[in-house]
Amino acid sequence: MQLTDLSPQVYEARWWEPMVDGRLHCYLCPRHCHIGEGQNGFCFIRRNEGGRLLQLGYGRPAALAMDPIEKKPLSHFFPGTKILSMGTAGCNMGCSFCQNWDISKAKSDQGNALNLSAEQVVEVALEHHSPHIAFTYNEPTIWGEYVIDVAREAHAAGLNTVMVSNGYITREAFFDIYRYIDAANIDLKAFTEDFYGKMTLTHLQPVLDTLKWLRHETGVWFEITNLIIPTLNDSNSEFKELCDWALNNLGDDVPLHFTAFHPDFKLQDKPPTPPETLHRARRIAMEMGMKYVYEGNIFSEAANTICPGCKQVVITRSWHSVMSNKLKNGRCGNCGTRIAGVFTRAEAEKRREWAGALESS
Backbone angles phi, psi at 307, to 5 degrees: -70, 125
The span of 41-49, 72-80, 258-266, 345-353 binding ligand SF4 (CB under 6 A) equals 41-49
Q: Is 32 in the site for ligand SF4 (CB under 6 A)?
A: yes
The yes or no reply on residue 29 touching ligand SF4 (CB under 6 A) is yes
**What is the footprint of ligand SF4 within residues 160-179 (CB under 6 A)?**
none
Angle CA 264–188–342, to nearest 5: 115
Contact flag: residue 43 with ligand SF4 (CB under 6 A) = yes
Q: Sketch the per residue contact string, 287 through 316, with ligand SF4: x for CB under 6 A, - otherwise.
A: ------------------------------
Binding flag, residue 42, ligand SF4 (CB under 6 A): yes
Nearer to ligand SF4, 18 or 271 (CB): 18
Smallest distance, ligand SF4 to C-beta of residue 93, A = 9
Q: How far apart are CA 144 and CA 149, in angstroms?
A: 9
When asked if residue 28 is in the footprint of ligand SF4 (CB under 6 A), the reply is: yes
Which residue of 95, 118, 121, 142 would you call a contact of ligand SF4, by CB under 6 A?
Answer: 142
Segment lying near ligand SF4 (by CB under 6 A), choices 22-30, 148-156, 194-202, 214-222 = 22-30
Contact letters (x/-) for ligand SF4, 325-344, by CB under 6 A?
A: --------------------
Segment interacting with ligand SF4, rule: CB under 6 A, options 29-37, 58-66, 219-227, 335-343: 29-37
Q: Point out which span in 25-33, 58-66, 106-114, 283-291 binds ligand SF4 (CB under 6 A).
A: 25-33
Q: CB count, 10 Å around CB of 159?
A: 21
Q: Binding-site residue total for ligand SF4 (CB under 6 A)?
A: 12
Residue nearer to ligand SF4 on the CB measure, 170 or 218: 170
Give the nearest residue (CB) to ligand SF4: 41
3-class SS string, the chain: CCCCCCCCCCCECCCEEECCCCCEEECCCCCCCEECCCCECCCCCEEEECCEEEECCCCCCCEEEEEEHHHCCCCCECCCCEEEEEECCCCCCCCCCCCCHHHHCCCCCCCCCCCCCHHHHHHHHHHCCCCEEEECCCCHHHHHHHHHHHHHHHHHCCCEEEEEECCCCCHHHHHHHHCCCCEEEEECCCCCHHHHHHHHCCCCHHHHHHHHHHHHHCCCEEEEEEEECCCCCCCHHHHHHHHHHHHHHCCCCCCEEEEECCCECCECCCCCCCHHHHHHHHHHHHHHCCCCEEEECCCCHHHCEECCCCCCEEEEEECCEEEEECEECCEECCCCCECCCECCHHHHHHHCHHHHHHHHC
Q: Does 24 bind ligand SF4 (CB under 6 A)?
A: no
Q: Which is nearer to ligand SF4, 29 or 190 (CB)?
A: 29
- Binding status of residue 92 toward ligand SF4 by CB under 6 A: yes
Q: Could you give the CA distance from residue 107 to residue 95 in angstroms, rounded to a whole number?
A: 16
Residue 41 found at the interface with ligand SF4 (CB under 6 A): yes
36-44, 81-89, 191-199, 241-249 -> range binding ligand SF4 (CB under 6 A): 36-44
Stretch that binds ligand SF4, among 30-38, 73-81, 205-213, 223-231 (CB under 6 A): 30-38
> Which residue stretch of 37-45, 121-129, 238-246, 257-265 sits at the interface with ligand SF4 (rule: CB under 6 A)?
37-45
Backbone angles phi, psi at 265, to 5 degrees: 50, -120
Backbone angles phi, psi at 275, to 5 degrees: -55, -35
Say whether residue 135 binds ligand SF4 (CB under 6 A).
Answer: no
- Which residues contribute to the site for ligand SF4 (CB under 6 A)? 26, 28-29, 31-33, 41-43, 46, 92, 142
